[in-house]
Amino acid sequence: MPTPQPVYLVDGSAYIYRAYHAITPLTNANGLFTHAALGFINTIQRILKEKKPSHLAVAFDLKGPTFRHKMYPDYKANRPAMPDDLSCQIPYIHDLVAALGIPTL
């Protein structure tokens, strides 16, 4: 019987924040912050190389209110807003995931 191949569903938003806080701020030649994008994509590439999943998808948090806000109006009420130097990297991270052909949810 063949060995089952792993399937990975990555919490993209958690990995983005993890990379953002783990790496000293970096910028490109135009002054755009890149450290969260670098850390995030390095993590995805490491999963692909080391774990060799048969399938991989990345789930990102939605921008607006979700069903959790309807169930509990104070959901994330005390959470600070996303830092500007992180929010500017999000579209590039989404583009990198798409360029790798990884499905997103």
The closest alpha carbon to 88, from 33, 41, 40, belongs to 33
Q: What is the pLDDT at residue 60?
A: 97
| Structural domain contains residue 50 | yes
Q: What is the pTM of this model?
A: 0.87
Tokens of 17: 């924040």
pLDDT exceeds 90 at position 77: no
> For residue 41, which amino acid is it?
I
DSSP state of 103: -
Q: What is the pLDDT at residue 85?
A: 98
| Structural domain contains residue 92 | yes
Handedness of CA 29, 20, 45, 105 (dihedral sign): negative
pLDDT in tens, 50-59: 999 999 999 9
Tell the residue number behind the tokens 């600070």, with chain if given: 80
Q: DSSP string covering 15-82, please?
A: HHHHHHHHS---B-TTS-B-HHHHHHHHHHHHHHHHH--SEEEEE---SS--HHHHH-TTTTTTPPPP
Total domains in the chain come to 1
pLDDT confidence band for 73 (50 / 70 / 90)? confident
| CB of 55 closer than 8 Å to CB of 46 | no
| Structural domain contains residue 2 | no
| Structural domain contains residue 44 | yes
Q: What is the pLDDT at residue 45?
A: 97
Q: What is the pLDDT at residue 76?
A: 78
Element (H, E) at 11: strand 7-11
Residue 37 belongs to domain spanning: 7-99
pLDDT in tens, 4-46: 888 999 999 999 999 999 999 999 999 999 999 999 999 999 9
Give the domain CATH number at 78.
Answer: 3.40.50.1010
